[in-house]
Amino acid sequence: MAGHTEIRVLVADDEPLARRGVRQLLAPHRDLTVVGEARNGRETLAALDALSPDLVFLDVQMPEMDGFDVLRTRGADRMPVVVFVTAHDQFAVRAFEAHALDYLVKPLHLERFDAALQRVREHLRLRDAAVLAARLAALLDAEKAEREKCGVERLVVRVAAGELVIPVAEIDWIGAEDYYACVHVGAKSHLLRESLASLEIRLDPRRFARVHRSAIVQIDRIRELHGEELVLCGGLRLPLSRRRRAAIEALLHGAAAPRM
């Protein structure tokens, strides 16, 4: 920490309004200085190296690399103090309450934000880096176990009128589209602000599989396999990665999929 009082802060969130909101909530706290912002996971990793912040407000849902991907890539022992920010209050809250220093659920509220800052100050005063690293590592283990256990039953996408809830049982396949995932349900498609890597972890691995770097498919929707291509029940053809074919065949036959 610079000097004795300044706490250097990095704000990582792909939504400009969300980053501005954190800045505004930090403004009255003179011992905290925002030294940088990041719009996605890769920028966050670069900023952590370049700026060496004491504290990072880390959005869980970011394109390409989400907050958990950042934590996995950098390693729990090399992270500063982390306050997670999430729009989801299901698994995230359960896991964060058990393992994270603190977390905030969007939309952010002043009283809850200030309480989180008090926990940050106390932790930095004690400077127990080993305890923080152990808690972050445990959080990653809990997140992986929770996803592998059952998977989510529904996805929530933003639409013009608000939010649309999509039961995962109705999904045919999910494709990568720039920084978004495109969820295909019959003749309709919906953009979800989440990476395929993040969705792959959240979905039940017994029902959904990554068939290519750009596609996840519900196993029950597969009609045929042809070399490096698969055909869905509606006739759509998708590329099939050669190294993933054995795993897909195992899932189609009801066997345990080999590791890819």
Contact 7, 121 (CB under 8 A): yes
**Chain segment 168-215, per-residue pLDDT in tens:** 999 999 998 877 899 999 999 999 888 887 788 778 888 899 898 899
User: Does residue 2 surpass a pLDDT of 70?
Assistant: no
Confirm if 248 and 222 have CB atoms less than 8 A apart: yes
User: Sign (positive/negative) of CA torsion 158, 160, 162, 167?
Assistant: negative
Full set of structural domains in the chain with CATH: 7-149 (3.40.50.2300), 155-252 (2.40.50.1020)
CA distance 170 to 54: 44
The stretch 127-141 carries a mean pLDDT of 77
